[in-house]
């Protein structure tokens, strides 16, 4: 019984350490998820930020003006919506980064994506 208890306690400890280290990333900072001042605004933000499994992305925006769409890499490059992973319209969208790999996000309103309201991340 002792070895099994040790394994259970170790797993719980590992989960707690992962949870405590999780970071909530506010996309766009104080300005939230809004039309960018330049085309590479959000991509530059994502490139200087480290994303780990367990972290969350928080998108705060005006639902009548913006949305959040997660897409495949091909759709991201073209600002198209053929392989949509998720669409969010509620004004406060939270995305949990639950596995490692690349993720791609943009705003699907008007020409916002083409104007730079998009970014990709690599989750470690």
DSSP 8-state code for residue 27: T
115 has a pLDDT exceeding 80: yes
pLDDT band at residue 14 under the 50/70/90 scheme:
low
Query: Where along the chain do its domains lie?
Result: 23-123
16 has a pLDDT exceeding 50: no
Cα maximum dimension of the chain: 62
Q: What is the pTM of this model?
A: 0.83
Average pLDDT over residues 58-83: 97
Is domain 23-123 in CATH 2.60.120.10, yes or no? no
Average pLDDT over residues 71-98: 97
Average pLDDT over residues 14-34: 79
| 52 and 124 Cβ atoms separated by less than 8 Å | yes
How much is the pLDDT for 92?
Answer: 98
């Amino acid at each position: 019984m002792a070895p099994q208890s040790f394994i259970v306690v170790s797993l719980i400890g590992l989960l707690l350490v992962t949870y405590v280290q999780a970071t909530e990333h506010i996309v766009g900072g104080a300005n939230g998820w809004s039309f960018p001042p330049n085309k590479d605004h959000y991509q530059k933000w994502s490139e200087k930020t480290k994303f780990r499994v367990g972290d969350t992305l928080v998108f705060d925006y005006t639902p009548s003006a913006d949305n959040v769409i997660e897409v495949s890499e091909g759709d991201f490059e073209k600002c198209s919506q053929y392989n949509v992973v998720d669409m969010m319209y509620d004004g406060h969208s939270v995305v949990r980064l639950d596995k490692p790999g690349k993720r791609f996000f943009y705003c699907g309103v008007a020409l916002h994506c083409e104007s730079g309201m998009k970014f990709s991340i690599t989750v470690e």
